[in-house]
Structure 1
Amino acid sequence: MPAWARRLATTCLAVLLSSHGWTATAQTSDLVSTTAFRVCADPANYPMSTEDGRGYENRIAELFAEKLDRPLQYTWFPMATGFIRKTLRENRCDVVIGYAQGHELVLNTNHYMTSAYVLIVPEDGPLTGITSLSDPALKDLSIGIIAGSPPGTHLARNGLMAKARGYNLFVDRRVESPAPDMLDDLKAGEIDAAILWGPIGGPLVKADYPEFKATALVEETLPPRLFYRITMGVRQGEKVWQRRLNSLIRRHQDEINAILNDAGVPLLNDMGTEVIEAAQ
């Protein structure tokens, strides 16, 4: 293309973008608050986030607010359908503290933890130490599972689904609590074992069900995988804000690990093959 034609094309494109109110600078979001660390969170998602501040995600949010030297401000909304649309996308807040890596609804930061589903059983029983759902010791047992969660495929593959008991996945935790309900059923002897996402099951066992033991399922070799890397989620396009949070995660990873370890979250290496100790 001749030089004059390239210049004409560039000029026409600039005019077109200008007429639609779209300039290059408009692609860089300025929606992030500079006066507060604004967090989108579920008010009743214990042990992760709670309105009274008991969750470990609350503690991570407090850490980041301190490092940014901004007051911590929450927008509360149930972690269910519409959560991102009603919080982050409506510019009511700027970050979700815990979000699975690779989810298209948000722009992910670098991950700050890797964890896995856990098998929860009585600590003094014969099932402790099981790290795979193909273990013969689980045959003919009734196992609690959150309906629609990845371990269900493994239960079906190993012939364990017939006696499994399902618990709801998408709920308003202000009125329904599937994870504690499952552990209460285990305590009552109505099921023989329970499977929960480790960052939920581990802290619940540590804080409220000390008679149980939670073991990470790290030896599954077939899909779907049972470990996930957890990031913070920000609005799509907010690269500057993402990079700033990445820097905070990198510089304060030991402090994050200490919070997670204290809460009882099982931490794995990045490949999800081994449980690691959090830095002290």
Structure 2
Amino acid sequence: MQHSTSRWTMLAGSAAVAAAMFAFPSSAALAANATLPANDHVLRVCADPNYLPYSNRAGQGFENKVAALVAKAMGRKLEYTWASYRGHGGYSNFLAENLDARKCDVVMNLPYGDHEESYTKPYYTSSYVFITRKDTHYHIRSMNSVSMHSIKIGFESDTTPETAIKLLDLINNAVAFHVASNPQASPRELLQAVQDGKVGVMITWEPAIGDFLKDYPDLQVARVPSEEYGPGLPTVGYTYGMSMGVRKGDTALKHALDKVIAREQPEITATLAQYDVKLLPNPRHVNFPNQ
């Protein structure tokens, strides 16, 4: 994870799920919340109240739908703690002030392999993508594509693509977007920037824009492949498994969620498909750590 960790920033490279330290709550806050009794009849989820396509208070996001599915499968009532992922301190602070502070027990979006929290098996795997207009002839299929040197590149700040853009000396022809750190912004803005010709290509996390693509029929999407950018450098991967996060030590809940994910995976996959989240069931290169 990185300093202003959001959904995209926590997907900031093969080692970046551990790149920033959490701002832990005070010992007094933990003590005050530690008395909360375990409740096997409730699934307490922390979520963003206004960040579609992921979640909102009305329950319209794909994470809302998956949370409801999981709670039902566990025979529990679903309860939310609402807090913005994109406030001060980003996703790291969100986790510290909510999950670690025991205001909830589960978050629906943690990269598989996170070093600060415990995590379930992935319930979906997806990728960063290139977005271009269909009426262009850029033929962009990798970060090394020739066209990348002649067109304006858009990217979400503090992510794996930004690292690659700098390594490949493309940064002077690129512009950073900050949707993931602005609570008032929408991932639609990334698509609109391509539609309006502000950038020739946008590089972003596919689940963020999949549900909005139906409103942009002139745009096309291609997955960003894993690549090596120099001798001796590790392969940079753009594909990530996404898990549900629980506090470290909460093994009973982790195992219970793993069982539900395994049993309900077909329905979870169908739910994600309704939001046009493109899945990679057997990716060749994916950022899964060895266990």
The TM-score with structure 1 as length reference comes to 0.79
The answer as to whether partners of 2:237 and 2:285 remain within 8 angstroms in 1 is: no
Q: Would you say 1:229 and 2:236 are equivalent positions?
A: no
CA-CA distance at 1:156 after TM superposition: 2.4
- Cα distance in structure 2, aligned partners of 1:234 and 1:188: 41
Unaligned segments of structure 2, at least 5 residues: 1-34, 230-234, 287-291
Q: Percent identity of the aligned residues?
A: 30
**1:176 equivalent in structure 2:** 185
Cα distance change on mapping 1:33 and 1:109 into 2, 3 Å: same
CA-CA distance at 1:55 after TM superposition: 0.8
The answer as to whether partners of 1:32 and 1:94 remain within 8 angstroms in 2 is: no
Q: Match of 2:125, SS?
A: strand
Unaligned segments of structure 1, at least 5 residues: 1-28, 275-280
CA-CA distance at 1:30 after TM superposition: 8.2
CA-CA distance at 1:269 after TM superposition: 3.4
**1:210 equivalent in structure 2:** 217
CA-CA distance at 1:235 after TM superposition: 0.9
- Cα distance in structure 2, aligned partners of 1:41 and 1:73: 10
- Cα distance in structure 2, aligned partners of 1:235 and 1:219: 31
Q: Would you say 1:153 and 2:163 are equivalent positions?
A: yes
Letter in 2 for 1:97: M
Query: Counterparts in 2 of 1:136-147, with a 5 A limit?
Result: 136-147=146-157
**2:279 equivalent in structure 1:** 267
Q: Match of 1:266, SS?
A: coil
Query: Counterparts in 2 of 1:158-169, with a 5 A limit?
Result: 158-168=168-178
CA-CA distance at 1:59 after TM superposition: 0.8
The answer as to whether partners of 1:201 and 1:214 remain within 8 angstroms in 2 is: no
- Cα distance in structure 2, aligned partners of 1:90 and 1:219: 37
Q: Count residues with an aligned counterpart.
A: 242
**2:200 equivalent in structure 1:** 192
- Cα distance in structure 2, aligned partners of 1:239 and 1:30: 17
Cα distance change on mapping 1:31 and 1:95 into 2, 3 Å: farther
Q: Match of 2:166, SS?
A: helix
The answer as to whether partners of 2:226 and 2:237 remain within 8 angstroms in 1 is: no
Q: Would you say 1:243 and 2:243 are equivalent positions?
A: no
Taking only aligned residues, the RMSD between alpha carbons, in angstroms, comes to 2.1
Cα deviation per residue 1:18-51 (whole Å; 9 max; x = unaligned)? xxxxxxxxxxx98543222211111112111112
Q: Would you say 1:46 and 2:55 are equivalent positions?
A: no
- Cα distance in structure 2, aligned partners of 1:256 and 1:170: 25
Q: Would you say 1:63 and 2:54 are equivalent positions?
A: no
Q: Would you say 1:33 and 2:33 are equivalent positions?
A: no
- Cα distance in structure 1, aligned partners of 2:247 and 2:38: 9
CA-CA distance at 1:61 after TM superposition: 0.7
CA-CA distance at 1:270 after TM superposition: 4.3
The answer as to whether partners of 2:226 and 2:236 remain within 8 angstroms in 1 is: no
Greater radius of gyration (CA): 1
Letter in 1 for 2:202: A
